[in-house]
Amino acid sequence: MKILVMHATAGAGHQKAAEAIYNALKKYTGHEVVCADVLDKTSPAFKDLYRKSYFFMVAKVPWLWQISFGFLDWNIAQPLMYMGRRVYNGLNTRQLRDFLIKEQFDWIISTHFMPIEVVSALKKSDKIKSRLIACVTDFDVHHIWMGSGVDYYAVATEWTKRKIVRMGVHANKVFITGIPTDEKFSQVKNRSELKRKLGIEDGKFTALIATGSFGIGPIEEIIKAVPGTQFVVVCGHGEKLFKTLTEKKYPNARVFGLVNNMDEMMAVSDVMVTKPGGLSISEALVVGLPMIFFSAIPGQETNNIKVLNSFGIGAGPATVPQIVRLLNEFQKSPEKLAAAKERINAMARRNSVKEIVELIR
């Protein structure tokens, strides 16, 4: 069979989820598998605008993103949203449509919402016969993930499934797989050896600060406020933040830029202070790492926090003083840390990619 795994490079999570699925398909099946960025199947101008407009809204005018996100999720707005998406995608995804019609994939797995509408429209007009899996990469689910051509939805939790069923999807089409994470996150590692490799002091309480792909958050304030904690800071694409922290040489902070060994960063840490993106949360769940949330993007990330909090997992969105208090509490109370890990282990889905692969029949 021919299988296409699609994502969009608007934030890192969609791509990481797609790559995890692609790697599992290559490892566990003999199918012909292609992994593609949907934005590469549009014009260069549209691709650039799509990425920059998303970053501008979530980083510079989050209130505008929150309004847009909320409006597009109203039931009453769905007919308008459907027409708007059809026109918008019709104008900008011709190359993608031509690609899908030419290749005639047996299965398409999408970790981003844009291809879902395009594939659904092509299936409705009988131009392709592909079966479609929508892999929702947040713990909440938005109407923009809905599509008439979706055969299966892969979702994070029972909470997510109940909501998507209330939105009109038949329960038999919804599978609780967890959000797909690379299998390296579930592998047991030697913490002491990793700490030596990464230049991190062993035997000292360690907090990982994950700023998301954009390098957003009050990172310096946190580092300065808790001098007794050893910090591992991953700046992602935040080159300005990386330069600032590197130049100031905080004695309690080990600073990294964009990394491909986040599993190791998590393995050497006792707690993670993080933006609440769906993939970051899922990776931490698999590792068994307690989380404190900060600088949440209104909409998908604040909703992630609400869902996780309903399971007793994570704290926040927290201000800097709250983060300081929580870090001190975790450091001074091994019991509190152990209880947080126990709740995480009850929720973690360590075989998510295998479960998604098994949906393909």
Q: What pLDDT is attached to residue 311?
A: 93
How far, in Å, CA of 165 to CA of 156, rounded?
A: 14
**Please, what's the largest Cα pairwise distance for the chain?**
63
What predicted TM-score, i.e. pTM, was given to this entire model? 0.92
What the block records as the tokens of 300 is: 């998908």
Tell me the two tokens of residue 328.
């001190």
Domain with CATH 3.40.50.2300 in the chain: 2-180
Domain 183-347 has CATH 3.40.50.11890: no
Q: Is the dihedral of CA 201, 206, 211, 212 positive or negative?
A: positive
User: What mean pLDDT value characterizes the chain?
Assistant: 92
Question: What is the per-residue pLDDT across 263-309, written as a single tens digit (0 to 9) for each?
Answer: 999 999 999 999 898 999 999 999 999 999 998 888 889 999 999 99
Dist. CA 346–CA 260, nearest whole Å:
27
Amino acid at the residue 256: F
State residue 216's pLDDT score: 65
CATH level 3 topology of 2-180: Rossmann fold (3.40.50)
Half-sphere exposure of residue 47: CA atoms within 13 angstroms, side-chain side: 13
In the chain, CATH 3.40.50.2000 covers: 183-347
Lowest mean pLDDT among 127-136, 179-188, 215-224, 285-294: 215-224
